[in-house]
Structure 1
Amino acid sequence: MVEIKQALQIIRSQDVPLDSEVVSLKDSLGRVLAEDLRAGFDLPGFDNSAMDGYALGGLQQEYKLVGEVAAGDLKEIIPKIGEAVRIFTGAKVPQGTSAVIMQEKTEVKNDLLFLDQLPVEGQCIRKKGEELRSGELVFNSSYKITAAGIGMIGSLGLDKVKVFKKPVIRLITTGNELVAPGGSLQGGQIYESNSGAIVAALNSKGFTSAGNEQIKDDFEQIKTGIAEALQNAGVLILSGGISVGNYDFVKQALEENGVDELFYKVKQKPGKPLFFGRKENKFIFALPGNPASSLSCFYIYVLPLLQKLSGLAGNGLLELHLPAASDFQNRGDRPVFLKANIEDNTVRILNAQGSSMIGSMAKGNALAFVEAFEKIEKGSLIKTFLIS
């Protein structure tokens, strides 16, 4: 059995393969750049107007209007001293322009322009290269692309980007008692919910499952299912069958498939019977079968590795330290991850903390962490991991 810190260190220290691919910019949200991105030209590429107003020749308070320039116009009007050109936001500023005055600070009579106040040299002009110079670094490799990032990259004229590939993930659930939702239950059976929860958790964090399979508690079937899944999966997640019962065949099946154990069992509640292993460049997690245990272990242990395999730092969920809404005493000898809800900038530990109870987890948005035998007093800071 390993401590939580040791388990996380083992996961985060893994040497992982990072492959890249070129994707359409429109499909790159949340992906991680696999190379540095530099500007291919100055941005903006020309002096342009920051306002709807007038491009001024010289700095005075009265001008003669001599033309108009809209955004995208190719015509060239050069105002002389004492002349002004009607101009619109984003339009190329005519050569020789001293400043641009916003239209709200002017008055037009016939073809004459009168200013409310004397302008300042260069005002309301976006200078060429003001944001980026040609060759300047825009984003480092490892930048996670945001909506604004897509806008930035698009403004450089790029419609494709080189990003790290995401891992191919497959999921296996085991159990004789499990029935797919929508089916009919018989005595002793329950509906299988772990795969749906894990797939949804994957999706919420930007990942997808390439395949989900449900297998009975049969050693040969489990062994074969693992072998087939490992043929094209970079990460295999199993749920159930990893404890020490007579029908828990997953660990043995993994061993017979050549999976090297990196750790088995973590000193924690819930989720003690957690397995992490590796076969060449493929990684395997066997999660407990209890729903809350399974999902908690996914967030704390599986997510950091998936992030690292995608080119991210692999820090997992966002860690916060917030005031506890009430007292809490952990009377056990193992650290606990507690279903919790962050509201009004405090952490409220929820009722129904059993490892099989997924309902309370569905009502929360976080996992609160309390050490063995630790007493948390109302208002004291408690380590909390934000799920959503």
Structure 2
Amino acid sequence: MESGQWTEDIKKALENNDQALAVKRVQEYLDKENNTPINIAVTGESGSGKSTFVNAFRGINNEDEGAAPTGCVETTTEVTPYLHPNYPNVKLWDLPGIGTPNFSADNYLELVGFERFDFFIIISATRFRENDVKLAQEIQGMKKKFYFVRSKIDSDLRNEEISQRDFNAERTLQQIRDNCIQGLQRQGVESPQVFLVSSFHLHLYDFTLLGDTFEGELPAHKKHALLLAMPNISQDVIDKKKKAFQSKIKYYATLSAGVAAAPVPGLSAAVDVGVLVSVVTQYVNGFGLDKPSLQRLADSTHVPYDELIAIIVSPLAAVKITPGLVLKVLLGCAGTAALMAAEEGSRFIPILGILAAMSLSFTFTYRALSYFLDTLAEDAQRVFKKALGLDTSV
């Protein structure tokens, strides 16, 4: 929905001078903007690590509530969607292993409902076999994207280190990659790209490259939604999220200015705070600074939760974002209260008052969101470094 249509909807909501309805319409719009559906299919032979990958991508541990079941034998017996804990519009579908009794290779795509998926991740813990290749070729024929992921790399490296006297990690990784690529080429796959991944250490090996590849090949609106749902596996990912959020600030500020054009005292401030609450909640969730995400990070990295909390500066992390909290933080910022008061006061200026109110509303929303984004992004970087045992000095 374009901003013009959005403004028209708000104006309709104002016909009865109903502030609550106007704020509700704003919230509905913001929710719609951030609900782009993404459906990712994760498949491969049984025991390849599909379920562990699904859990890791969602930032949860195998033992957490809502985790995809894992085990040494095939645990996925039907097509099962798993929602991202912070972005339920992003679903990872754990598919039964290709070639299992109820999902034969010949009609696998039809059985799993291939048309619902944006792309496929084909996982193998050893080498990619005939069924994997056949599936990839059929996916390609359906004009869908697929990606080969070689899993359990951490286990391979440990085994090689034990068995080799002159072990070299980089050489071993390249040998694994070459072996997979050559095997796929022998089976007729042209120019295959294989990503080496450890679901227990996503910040290592090729997961970052895999995420970059997703971004480069998805439509813009889907790319944005997927980026926000990606786990914070590197400082680069955090920076990308910040830039994605930053690109929307001018848009939100323009919408705020549109509401300020309505000659209803108190409405613009109410809507502005509603927008701030919604967008700041996006920032907190996207950066993994909400309490459940921080607890999962503490559990997976064995860094105590209290130590992660201790290095966070913003009072908006690990708490429920409310209008009262947002206003409290803003009132501590120089000039913010004056901007809000000036906007309301300008309404009583004849002729030019509404234009002044629009300008002040734009400036207020833009500055407030920029401030929140900067502080939360810095906190996300501190938490990332602390979780990985890196230097956390700023």
Which structure has the larger Rg over C-alpha atoms? Answer: 1
TM-score by structure 2 length? 0.30
Between Structure 1 and Structure 2, the one with more strand by share is 1
More helix by share: 2
